[in-house]
């Protein structure tokens, strides 16, 4: 049966509102989301600044500091952590049973999951902008219009990384397994990308690692953000991020299909 | 949708891998009636609830709700169902009202109607005065009442409750059973109440006894008692589920 469009919108607003309320109750989450990249920016970058030269490369018009170079990577890191945290919350909701309330709403399951994904992405935007404001005030100098230009790309990268988290949440059977999975996802994704070092530097050190980096969708999320911050679009990165988002989300919807049986594993009595 | 057709479950099968949970289960729930689905732990009650709520898909057979086939139009059937799961599904860090509002949004309720429905449902379940409190502050009995209030928000015609009294003390349990019976009586709701506790079944209810994944008896309580020559529900339950009679609580 086709349901009126207003019902879809009301549902989306409800899911966004609930995620916002939950986020407001978790002040530690915002603090952690801010402190983690700031530590990288202030401490890690201070150590690496002197030993890692960054040559002029697009989208930068001149030499840049290492702090400036890693800002897009740290933004993507915030979104990656947020995606994993949302995924953890979904596993928790499933364990606690509250996921059933979402999944028994009279709307298509893909739409309910997409609403959840969009809500998680919206939360990541708040975290990213809080970080960007602090970074701009303290250490780096970004083009003012970049704050605006990066917004649609942030939405796309947030959806891609959130969809990855959602896919993982559909596959993880128990909350206890989550920490291990996160370590296997977050750290390789982050380190095997252009977040901390330019890829040409990586290629100089190891061709194999370079190839892994260029196969990592996180690399393209970082590059899409890097260019957007400097008011440029990078079509290849945007295309790969969009494609990865569609694949991850499609697999997540499949993972939550009752025929595959998310709740199937937990049935009793 | 034709409410007079009630709920029909025909030859439904479901298995967890090689382990069968429901074997050719058939039953018919009369509209506007309170039907107790009685069975010991592991009988297949929660599996049946998951199938009725479209969380699982039957591996055989058909389910129709008020004439609508669940497989063909699960969204329309979910729209007329109010579900209370065995596991509590409230968001503990949100207030009573916020939990209600979230559920209302999931069902597409908006505007003044939401306020009216929240007020009416909380009042019906005796929680109107506590709507600003965090759910975490409520005791188990009140949390269950809240789940029922929430399930009533979109004015469902079929209430599905899976062992809703688990973890409640005796007075809270009796209170909840009475509340749902009153709902069924006053508003003409069709109710399926899954339980393993025989004292939650009242003389005027319909009864389905489920054991080891198959229906052992069904009909009005008096008919089920007569069919096995028992004088009360406990006797009938013991007779019909002989191997698991020790799990029945009086």
Chain A positions touching B81 (Cβ under 8 A) are: 104
Contact between B176 and B141 (Cβ < 8 Å)? yes
Give the model's confidence band at A2: pLDDT under 50 very low, under 70 low, under 90 confident, else very high: low
Of B235 and A30, more confident = B235
- Across the interface, whether the CB atoms of B57 and A259 are under 8 A apart is answered yes
Has residue A18 been placed in a domain?
no
Q: Write out pLDDT tens, residues A103-130.
A: 999 999 999 999 999 999 999 999 999 9
- Across the interface, whether the CB atoms of B54 and A104 are under 8 A apart is answered yes
Residue B19 pairs with which residues in a beta bridge? Answer: B16
Chain B positions touching A119 (Cβ under 8 A) are: none
Has residue A17 been placed in a domain?
no
Is the Cβ of B4 closer than 8 Å to some Cβ of chain A? no
Indicate which of B71, B75, B149 best probes the interface with A, i.e. most A CBs within 10 Å of its own CB: B75
Give the angle subtended at the CA of B132 by the CAs of B131 and B134, to the nearest 5°. Answer: 100
Q: Count of domains in chain A?
A: 1
Paired tokens of A109: 């399951």
Strands B68-69 and B214-220: unpaired
- Across the interface, whether the CB atoms of A268 and B43 are under 8 A apart is answered no
Chain A positions touching B70 (Cβ under 8 A) are: none
Measured in degrees and rounded to the nearest 5, phi and psi for residue B67 equal 85, -10
Give the model's confidence band at A230: pLDDT under 50 very low, under 70 low, under 90 confident, else very high: very high
Q: Is B229 exposed, middle or buried (0-12, 13-18, 19+ CB in 10 A)?
A: exposed
Q: Write out pLDDT tens, residues A240-253.
A: 999 999 999 999 99
Q: Is B235 exposed, middle or buried (0-12, 13-18, 19+ CB in 10 A)?
A: middle
Integer CA distances (angstroms), B138 to A42, A154, B127, B180, in order: 45, 40, 10, 20
Q: Which of A1, A97, A106 sits opposite B85 (nearest CB)?
A: A97
What is the widest separation between alpha-carbon atoms in chain A? Answer: 67
Is the Cβ of A268 closer than 8 Å to some Cβ of chain B? yes
Chain A positions touching B83 (Cβ under 8 A) are: 100, 104
**C-alpha to C-alpha distance for B194 and B22, rounded to whole angstroms:** 15
Chain B positions touching A18 (Cβ under 8 A) are: 91, 94, 98, 102
Residue B32 has what pLDDT? 94
Which part of chain B has CATH 3.40.50.300? 3-80+158-244
Mean local confidence (pLDDT), A214-226: 96
Has residue A153 been placed in a domain?
yes
Model ipTM value:
0.86
Has residue A20 been placed in a domain?
no
* pLDDT of residue B161 exceeding 60: yes
Rg (CA), chain A: 19
- Across the interface, whether the CB atoms of B163 and A108 are under 8 A apart is answered no
- Across the interface, whether the CB atoms of B109 and A267 are under 8 A apart is answered no
Angle, helices A146-171/A217-229, rounded to nearest 10 degrees: 160
Sheet holding B158-162, edge to edge: B81-84, B158-162, B190-195, B34-38, B206-211, B214-220
Of A257 and A268, more confident = A257
Is the Cβ of A36 closer than 8 Å to some Cβ of chain B? no
Is the Cβ of A14 closer than 8 Å to some Cβ of chain B? yes
Has residue A22 been placed in a domain?
no
Q: Write out pLDDT tens, residues B5-33.
A: 999 999 999 999 889 999 999 999 999 99
Instruction: Return the CATH fold of B3-80+158-244.
Output: Rossmann fold (3.40.50)
Neighbouring C-beta atoms of residue A138, cutoff 10 Å: 11
* pLDDT of residue A180 exceeding 60: yes
Q: Which domain holds residue A123?
A: 27-260
b/e map of B63-96 (b: 16 or more CB within 10 Å)?
Answer: bbbbebebeebbbbbbbbbbbbbbebbbbeebbb
Q: Which of B56, B73, B89 sits opposite A264 (nearest CB)?
A: B56
Q: Which of A14, A96, A267 sits opposite B105 (nearest CB)?
A: A14
What is the rounded average pLDDT for all residues in chain A?
Answer: 87
Residue A53 has what pLDDT? 63
Q: Which of A3, A14, A97 sits opposite B106 (nearest CB)?
A: A14
Q: Write out pLDDT tens, residues B175-225.
A: 889 989 998 999 899 999 999 999 999 999 999 999 999 999 999 999 999
Q: Which of B42, B89, B108 sits opposite A269 (nearest CB)?
A: B42
What is the rounded average pLDDT for all residues in chain B?
Answer: 91
Has residue A239 been placed in a domain?
yes
Has residue A226 been placed in a domain?
yes
């Amino acid at each position: 049966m086709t349901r009126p469009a207003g019902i879809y919108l009301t549902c989306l607003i409800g899911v966004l509102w609930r995620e916002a309320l939950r986020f407001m109750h978790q002040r530690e989450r915002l603090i952690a989301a801010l402190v983690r990249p700031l530590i990288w920016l202030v401490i890690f970058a201070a150590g690496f600044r002197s030993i890692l030269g960054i040559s002029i490369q697009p989208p930068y018009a001149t030499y840049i500091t290492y702090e400036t170079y890693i800002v897009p990577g740290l933004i993507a890191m915030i979104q990656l952590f947020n995606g994993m945290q949302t995924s953890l919350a979904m596993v928790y909701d499933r364990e606690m049973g509250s996921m059933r309330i979402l999944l028994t709403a009279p709307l298509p399951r893909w739409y309910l999951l997409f609403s959840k994904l969009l809500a998680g992405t919206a939360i990541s935007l708040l975290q990213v902008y809080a970080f960007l404001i602090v970074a701009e005030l303290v250490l780096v100098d970004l083009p003012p219009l970049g704050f605006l230009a990066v917004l649609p790309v942030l939405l796309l990268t947030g959806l891609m990384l959130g969809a990855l988290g959602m896919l993982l949440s559909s596959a993880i059977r128990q909350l206890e397994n989550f920490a291990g999975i996160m370590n296997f996802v977050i750290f390789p994704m982050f380190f095997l990308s252009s977040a901390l070092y330019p890829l040409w530097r990586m290629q100089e050190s190891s061709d194999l690692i370079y190839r892994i980096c260029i196969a990592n969708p996180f690399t393209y999320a970082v590059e899409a953000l890097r260019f957007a911050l400097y008011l440029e679009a990078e079509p290849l990165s945007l295309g790969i991020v969009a494609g990865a988002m569609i694949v991850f989300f499609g697999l997540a919807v499949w993972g939550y299909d009752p025929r595959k049986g998310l709740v199937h594993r937990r049935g009793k009595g | 949708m034709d409410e007079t057709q009630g709920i029909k479950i025909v030859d439904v099968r479901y298995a967890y891998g090689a382990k069968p949970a429901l074997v050719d289960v058939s039953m018919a729930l009369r509209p506007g009636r309170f039907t107790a689905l009685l069975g010991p732990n592991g009988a297949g009650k929660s599996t049946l609830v998951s199938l009725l709520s479209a969380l699982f898909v039957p591996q055989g057979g058909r389910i129709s709700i008020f004439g609508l086939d669940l497989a063909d139009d699960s969204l329309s059937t979910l729209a007329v169902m109010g579900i209370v799961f065995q596991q509590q599904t409230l968001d503990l860090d949100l207030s009573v009202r916020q939990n209600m509002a979230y559920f209302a949004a999931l069902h597409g309720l908006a505007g003044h109607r939401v306020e009216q429905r929240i007020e009416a449902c909380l009042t019906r379940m005796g929680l109107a005065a506590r709507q600003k409190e965090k759910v975490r502050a409520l005791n188990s009995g009140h949390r269950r009442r809240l789940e029922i209030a929430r399930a009533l928000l979109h004015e469902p015609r079929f209430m599905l409750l899976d062992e809703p009294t688990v973890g409640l003390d005796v007075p809270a349990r009796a209170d909840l059973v009475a509340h749902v019976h009153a709902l069924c009586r006053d508003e003409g709701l069709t109710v399926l109440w899954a339980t393993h506790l025989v004292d939650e079944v009242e003389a005027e209810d319909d009864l389905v006894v489920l054991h080891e994944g198959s229906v052992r008896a069904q009909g009005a309580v008096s008919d089920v008692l007569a069919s096995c020559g028992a004088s009360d529900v406990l006797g009938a339950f013991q007779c019909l589920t002989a191997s698991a009679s020790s799990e029945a609580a009086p």
